[in-house]
Amino acid sequence: MTQETVQEAAPPPEPGPLARLLQELLPGVGFAITVTLLDETVTIGRDDFTRVMETLKGHERLRFDYLRCLSGADYLTELETVYHFYSFEHGHKLAVKVRCPYDDPHVPTVSHLWAAANWHERETHEMYGIVFDGHPDLRPLLTEEGLGYFPLRKSHPLADIEEWQEGYLSAIDEAKRQAASAGGEAAPPMSKVEIAQAKAKLMKEARDKARAEGLSPEDEKAAVRAAIDKFQEDLESGAVGGAAAPAPMSKVELAQAKAKVITKARSEARGQGMTTEDEKAFVAEAIKKFSEEQAGGGAPAAAAPKKEMSKIELAQAKAKVITKARNEARAKGMSTEDEKKFVAEALKNFSAEQDA
Amino acid sequence: MATIDYTIPGEHDLETLDIHVNVGPQHPATHGVFRMVLTVDGEVVTDVDPIIGYMHRGNEKLPENCDFRQAIGFHDRTDYLAQFNTEHCYVQAVEKLTGITPTERSEYIRVILAELNRITSHQMFVGAFSTDVGIFGTAFMYAFRDRELIQDFFEEITGERMMYNYFRPGGVAWDVPDNFRERCRQVIGQIKKGISDLEGLIVNNEVVLARCCGLSRMSTADAINWGVSGPLLRATGLEYDLRKAEPYSIYDRFEFDIPTGKDGDIYDRVIVRIEEMKQSVRIVEQALLRMPDGPIMAEGLKRVLRAPEGEVYMRVEGPRGEYGVYLVATGADKPYRHRVRAASFCNLSALRAMSVGNYVSDVVIILGSIDIVLGEVDR
């Protein structure tokens, strides 16, 4: 509960008339003044917060009766709440900011002073995780209950959709093929299109490889030819099309079974009259047990894909790492070059982790 | 002959149960995907729990990942009935941050379009509200007939009927067609007639008078406390309009009045809006006379806009009240924080205060009188 934010702004700009009035009316309160374009802005410490707010509303020379906007903001190490005020009596306007650290995101509520703050605080709470102490009803407003993350924090990035999808879609294809090949004899052979696609891919790879090695055009052709021949042979012998493997539980079945477990655990918990917290824990326990069963002796068929991350999961995890690194880099304001390097670094770490 | 005793024994000991009534989210009276849970004691509403968020699309988060100019389109999608007003707010916020001055001609174009947009929004309100009240069809059709004229006019200028994406920091995307003035005068002429038609249908309508007068009175102090703005605030008798209180753009150059109500009841809210349409017509007429020729885009703008470190809370008077955009810039080409202060979000938060103690059937009118746009409420 220190006033680090107040001390931090060492060279303050010239205080405006309102800031001077505040300093006069509230001696002993540190007001850090920041340059703004339309409203005078002061930053205060959390300790003085309630006192300042009550004075803003109540004092006859201030009389800020209109809370026009309340916003949250994420500054990576701290969370900030901004209040924009207007006074109908005096016609003056002021912005007040207060910061709170990430690990202790508490700010006293102002909903008892301005009813308008009620919904604003609810929204800021669900979006940033700032807890407004003393608020009568801090249920989420725009998102569902029990979301588990704070969407407007910088640590919750948007996924880059194209990139994410690309990895995802190809991973799905891969998984489908695996499932088909795992189906054993009954699995349908590769469709003509798929064969052609695989062939094209192979040819391209062979060509690229030949060019990278600097072969002459004739040799290159021969290399590609050889690759195609090998592919045909594999296809005929069945090495590509449909090798038999034990049939794992399909993904859909797995998900259905899981959903059943969850539903059962939840209704059980509710039947026992648990609190929401306990209920969540109970369900989590059940899911964990289920997964263990799946991984262990319970269903040996599913053991193989469980051991390692599936391709889809891997691609998703990778996309997440990329997005996260990029957003971090952007939040730090890196140049494009540095950003690229940063992302590459993150990817490298990720692969190393996977290998280990 | 024995007399019959009609009194019910122990009438005052009857125990009543509070019943919860769910309204929406798919219900024509909720004007979009809005849901409320009413607690009723007989016919009287004792509690209202508005439930919103069905249309939450992350309109605050997405622009934080977009270029300053790319974010304009998101403002069309917040208040989708007053797109020019919201765009006007956002581009001004960016201009304040970057220090760009828009050209004279573009300022006039923006004001004309924003005021016409205010008229379409109020027409929409009057139309929808009249069906809420129970005068089916007629007023609604009259309002939409005229709204269509303005929509066609907007389409001629921007190529779009709803998501215009036309204003830019420094000006507008392209110049208006050559016949802009004549077309605008023509539209205005028809609109004026349309407004008096609407007035005739609403102002002295027996149904409207019976259902709206004295319903859901709100005092000025209450309205201010709840953060209510726009026509709802003015209906309580307070003469407060951001176009006059904190003149932005070129609004200080025009003559217009701020219509106010007396009681803050539903009837006043409707009348204030009808009067506001007339004032908007006045502004457009003045602006048309003075609109200069010249460039429509400020000179020397870079392809990528970068705003120096700073922040601004820009607000404009939208049809529903104060529409605000709070931008924090860190020197990058995107806003670091992008917050939308939606007028109907704040107005809707006062729904409980307005409705408790009224009849169930009146809550529909009260909700209608707030004139919510869910795109703006949920963002």
**Cis amide linkage into residue B63, ω under 30° from 0:** no
H/E stretch holding B187: helix B180-202
Residue B264 in domain: yes
Low-confidence stretches of chain B (pLDDT < 50) are: none
* A88 with B315: Cβ contact below 8 A: no
Are the C-beta atoms of residues A181 and A246 closer than 8 Å to each other?
A: no
Nearest-Cα distance to chain B for A271, in Å, is 23
Bigger pLDDT: A301 vs A348: A348
The reported pLDDT for the residue numbered B40 is 86
Nearest residue of chain B to residue A110 (CA atoms): B225
**pLDDT above 90 covers what percent of chain A?**
4
> Which ranges in B213-356 belong to alpha helices (H)?
220-225, 231-235, 242-245, 266-290, 343-349, 351-355
Is A34 contained in some domain?
Answer: yes
* Residue B364 within any structural domain of the chain: yes
Question: Is the residue at B48 inside a domain?
Answer: no
* Cα distance between residue B371 and residue B130, in whole Å: 12
- Residue A36 maps to a domain: yes
- CA distance to A152, A259, B345, per residue, from B64 (Å): 10, 36, 21
Instruction: Please give the average per-residue pLDDT across A28-44, as a whole number.
Output: 79
Q: What is the mean pLDDT of residues A318-340?
A: 84
Segment A163-186 shows an average pLDDT of: 63
Q: What pLDDT was estimated at residue A161? A: 53
Mean pLDDT of chain A: 76
Task: Tell me how far apart the alpha carbons of residues B235 and B273 are, in angstroms, rounded to a whole number.
Answer: 9
Interface test with A, best of B226, B246, B345, B370 (most A CBs within 10 A): B226
Distance from CA of B321 to the nearest CA of A (A): 11
Taking CB atoms and an 8 Å limit, are B227 and A67 in contact across chains? yes
Contacts of B346 in chain A (CB under 8 A): 116, 119-120
Lowest average pLDDT, out of A153-167, A278-292, A327-341, B27-41, goes to: A153-167
State how far residue A153 is from chain B, nearest Cα, in angstroms: 9
Question: How much is the average pLDDT of A158-184?
Answer: 64
What is the residue range of B129's domain?
60-378
Structural domain includes residue A150: no
- Does residue B354 sit at the A interface (CB-CB below 8 Å)? no
Considering CB atoms only, which of B238, B312, B315 is closest to A68? B315
Structural domain span for residue A229: 196-241
- Residue A279 lies inside a defined structural domain of this protein: no
Q: Do A115 and B226 touch (CB under 8 A)?
A: yes
Instruction: Return residues 317-346 of A near B (CB < 8 Å).
Output: 330, 333
Contact: A119, B229; criterion CB under 8 Å: no
Are residues A16 and A126 part of one domain? yes
Tell whether B32 is covered by a domain: no
Q: Using CA atoms in the order A309, A315, A316, A319, what is the torsion angle rounded to 10 degrees?
A: 140
Per-residue buried b or exposed e for B22-37, using 16+ beta carbons within 10 Å of the residue's own CB: ebbbeeebbbbbbbbe
Mean pLDDT of A331-339: 82
Which of A113, A133, A153 is a domain's end point? Answer: A133
* Amino acid (1-letter code) at residue A262: I
* Contact between A73 and B337 using a beta-carbon 8 Å cutoff: yes
Q: What is the distance between the alpha carbons of residues B230 and A340, in angstroms, rounded to a whole number? A: 48
Distance CA A50, CA A7 (A): 19
For the ranges A85-89, A277-281, B130-134, B278-282, which has the lowest average pLDDT?
Answer: A277-281
Which one of B33, B225, B258, B378 would you mutate to disrupt binding with A, by most A Cβ within 10 Å of its Cβ?
B225
Residue A251 within a domain: no
Q: What is the pLDDT of residue A313?
A: 78
Q: What are the pLDDT digits (tens) for B293-344?
A: 888 888 888 888 888 888 899 999 999 999 999 999 888 888 888 999 999 9
pTM of the model: 0.69
Kindly state whether A124 is in contact with chain B, defined as any CB-CB distance less than 8 angstroms: no
- In the predicted structure, residue A240 carries a pLDDT above the cut 70: no
Q: Give dist(CA B344, CA B240) in Å, integer.
A: 17
Q: Which residues of A301-330 are buried (b: 16+ CB within 10 A; e: fewer)?
A: ebeebbeeeebbeebbebbebbbbbbbbbb
Q: For residue A123, is it within any domain? A: yes
Q: Which of A69, A141, A333 shows the shortest C-beta gap to B341?
A: A69
CB atoms within 10 A of CB A261: 17
Contact B332/A at CB under 8 A = yes
**pLDDT at site B121:** 92
Q: Do B81 and B372 touch, CB atoms closer than 8 A?
A: no
Q: Is A234 contained in some domain? A: yes
B240-295 pLDDT, tens digit each: 998 888 888 899 899 999 999 888 889 999 999 999 999 999 999 999 998 888 88
Residues of chain A positioned with their CB less than 8 A from the CB of B245 = 91
User: What pLDDT score was predicted for residue A303?
Assistant: 40
DSSP for B315-371? EEEETTEEEEEEEEE-SSSSEEEEEEE-HHHHHHHTHHHHHTTSBHHHHHHHHHHH-
Are A141 and B53 within 8 A, CB to CB? Answer: yes
d(CA A324, CA A321): 5
Q: How much is the pLDDT for A3?
A: 41
Residue (of B349, B355, B345, B346) closest to B21 by Cα position: B355
- Domain with residue B301: its CATH number is 1.10.645.10
- Cα distance between residue B232 and residue B260, in whole Å: 9
Whether residue A106 sits in one domain with residue A8: yes
The CATH number that applies at residue A89 is 3.30.460.80
> What pLDDT, in 10s, does the model give residues A107-143?
999 988 888 899 999 999 988 889 998 888 888 888 8
- Domains held by chain A: number: 2
Let me know if residue B88 belongs to a domain: yes
pLDDT at A6: 43
Which one of A36, A114, A141 has the shortest CB-CB distance to B311?
A36
Structural domain count of chain B: 1
> In the predicted model, is pLDDT for residue A263 greater than 70?
yes
pLDDT computed for residue B10 by the predictor: 56
Place of tokens 């070059």: A337
